[in-house]
Amino acid sequence: MLRYVIKRLLAVIPTLILISIFVFMFVRFIPGDPARRVAGPDATLEDVEMIRESLGLNKPVLDQYKDYMLGLLKGDMGTSLKTKRPVTYEIGLRYSNTVRLTISSLAWSVVFGIIIGVFSGKNRSKWQDYFGMTFAVSGISLPSFWLGLMLIQIFAVNLKLFPTVGADGLRSLVLPSITLGASVAAIIARFTRSSIIEIMKNDYIRTAHAKGLTERKIIWKHVFRNSMIPVVTVIGLQFGFLLGGSVVTESVFAFPGLGSLLIDSVNYRDYPMIQSLILIFSLHFVLINLLVDLLYAALNPEIKLQ
């Protein structure tokens, strides 16, 4: 297994290089001049050119990319054009907030999604199934910004149970995590239901019924574990999306995380910050996919890591 993990980690390097090239070129097609944003609207053309030269933006694109990659190899992601502080420092201030929001969102959505999916699949075409799938369709269909605003109006403004903005304490995580995790719980519920129904069609499940095993024992001992393999894939992908896709939710709740930092950086044309954030989001996906592969072997011993 160690050899497999090392090979997968080495494969990350060319993937991140390709992503860095794409992101580096893409951000330079964003309309707007970062040198002008730094200089201010009243700066003269001479001032703008001086700032462009100090930032290295007057160099050829290939030279700029080479300088950026050499900095990355040294652990230097550059300096934020907006705050004039190291990018690593700015990301470090917000990274833990995004991780806490992501974990809290994923925790409740996995628990509720799997429970609803199991009971829907176990009671196919019954009221439990219709109730569960109504929840799933609603969770996927509701826009996150609308759900967030409704939660703020009801639980923060009217009932005054939770704060409306910020990241101070566990109470400030409740509404954003519900908003962020609603669609994830719905997706997990649908995949769990489909997987449960598919597994229950197998011969060994009919054999277990013929042996007189209880329904609960069949579901939780024989059906549940085998049905979790495709669900684990979905959970892993959703975890990656939550880490990088919390932009809307963080904006609605003024939550100081990486998503809101990315929005601010795009608005300011902060090239170093945009590049670094997207690289970090990409690295999250790669490492999560590796973790999912390792979980496959733990859930089903017949799966061998080659």
| CATH for 96-299 (3.40.50.2300, 2.30.30.100, 3.10.105.10, 1.10.3720.10) | 1.10.3720.10
- Number of C-beta neighbours around residue 102 at 10 A: 25
Residue 212, phi-psi category: left (phi > 0), alpha (psi -120 to 50), beta (remainder): left
- CA 131 to chain centroid: 28
Token reading at 102 = 């992501």
**Residue 224 pLDDT:** 81
Residue ranges matching CATH 1.10.3720.10 in the chain: 96-299
Token reading at 271 = 């090239």
State the Cα–Cα distance between residues 25 and 23, nearest whole angstrom. Answer: 5
Nearest one of 190, 20, 193, 63 to 119, comparing CA atoms: 193
Contacts by residues 34-42 (CB-CB < 8 Å, ≥ 24 positions apart): 34/81, 34/268, 34/269, 34/270, 34/271, 37/81, 37/268, 37/269, 38/81
Q: Which residues pair with 86 in a beta bridge?
A: 79
Which of the 8 DSSP states describes residue 86? Answer: B
Per-residue pLDDT reduced to its tens digit, 146-175: 999 999 999 999 998 998 888 788 888 999
State the Cα–Cα distance between residues 233 and 230, nearest whole angstrom. Answer: 5
Residue type, 6: I
Rounded (5°) CA angle 130-131-132? 95
- CA 140 to chain centroid: 16
State the Cα–Cα distance between residues 108 and 262, nearest whole angstrom. Answer: 26
Spans of the chain below 50 pLDDT = none
**Residue 150 pLDDT:** 93
**Residue 20 pLDDT:** 85
- CA-atom Rg of the chain in angstroms: 24
**Residue 111 pLDDT:** 93
